[in-house]
């Protein structure tokens, strides 16, 4: 179960998904795709809100709806088909919008193709409830997405790239020790990155378990490490490996973010505010 996701994301991320409760507001064509992907991802529960009566026009964009669903609530028609996608996910319909206290049961609130005023109202409630928020719109060939994960969202890997590695040419032993990589392999690091060393001959202290260095970049091949006098004398070989560091990201509330954006999408394409 979820073998491909486990290969890509790992067990920790999948366990986090399995513990998540999602509220999806809006089952337009975009909402239907989001609902499908959330259900297949393996969250704990998925609740949907959309009391809009289905129309014939919806059938051209929303794969969850059928001709017999016309005039029925979008959410009521979609829930059985979303449930069939993954028997391990509880899918339900919510027929009224919730207060901030009631939203606390959800990990993430996803708002799809709603008027701006409604998005701002829900965004404020989600902030009060401590929920993550994702707002998305699709308008013809245009689209936009906004995420608000709070003031201190923990991230274990800020870029998702494999850790940088490079073979060493030399490591100095002095108060301001420096490491130099071979010319064929620029280190690709930035000041403030953290590295560890492996298989360096003559400097056992440099490669000791748990020993890492916050580096200062001096060039494409050069890094300052700090005091390396007690770590031995470089005799050859070895490589440096980047150690990814967790970080906390701050997201702006939707209203604050819109005030800093000179041309919001609803002004460009005329979406009702």
For residues 77 and 62, give the distance between their C-alpha atoms in angstroms, rounded to a whole number: 11
pLDDT for res 272: 46
pLDDT for res 226: 94
Question: Do the Cβ atoms of 83 and 91 come closer than 8 Å?
Answer: yes
pLDDT for res 157: 86
- Tell me the backbone φ, ψ of residue 46, rounded to 5 degrees: -135, 115
Task: Convert the pLDDT of each residue in 79-121 to its tens digit.
Answer: 999 999 999 999 999 987 778 999 999 999 999 999 989 999 9
Question: Do the Cβ atoms of 77 and 51 come closer than 8 Å?
Answer: no
Cα-Cα-Cα-Cα torsion 188, 191, 192, 196, nearest 10 degrees, comes to 50
For residue 260, CA distances in Å to 87, 219, 255 come to 43, 36, 9
pLDDT for res 268: 43
What is the average pLDDT score of the chain? 91
């Amino acid at each position: 179960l979820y073998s491909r996701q486990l290969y890509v994301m790992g067990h920790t991320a999948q366990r986090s998904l399995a513990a998540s409760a999602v509220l999806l507001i809006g089952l337009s064509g975009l909402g239907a795709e989001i609902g499908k992907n959330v259900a297949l991802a393996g969250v704990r529960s998925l609740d949907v809100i959309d009391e809009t009566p289905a129309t014939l026009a919806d059938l051209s964009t929303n794969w969850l709806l059928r001709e017999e669903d016309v005039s029925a609530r979008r959410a009521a028609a979609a829930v059985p088909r979303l449930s069939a996608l993954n028997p391990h996910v509880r899918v339900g319909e919510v027929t009224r919008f919730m207060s901030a206290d009631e939203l606390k049961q959800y990990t993430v609130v996803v708002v799809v193709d709603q008027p701006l005023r409604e998005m701002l109202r829900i965004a404020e409630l989600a902030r009060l409830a401590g929920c993550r928020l994702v707002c998305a719109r699709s308008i013809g060939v245009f689209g936009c997405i906004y995420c608000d994960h709070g003031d201190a969202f923990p991230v274990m890997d800020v870029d998702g790239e494999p850790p940088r590695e490079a073979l060493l040419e030399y490591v100095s032993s002095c108060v301001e020790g420096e490491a130099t990589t071979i010319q064929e392999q620029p280190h690709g690091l930035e000041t403030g990155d953290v590295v560890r060393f492996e298989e360096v001959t003559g400097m056992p202290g440099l490669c000791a378990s748990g020993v890492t260095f916050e580096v200062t970049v001096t060039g494409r091949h050069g890094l300052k490490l700090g005091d390396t006098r007690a770590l031995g004398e470089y005799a050859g070989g070895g490589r440096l490996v980047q150690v990814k560091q967790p970080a906390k990201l701050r997201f702006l509330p939707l209203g604050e973010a819109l005030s800093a954006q000179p041309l919001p999408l609803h002004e460009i394409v005329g979406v009702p505010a």
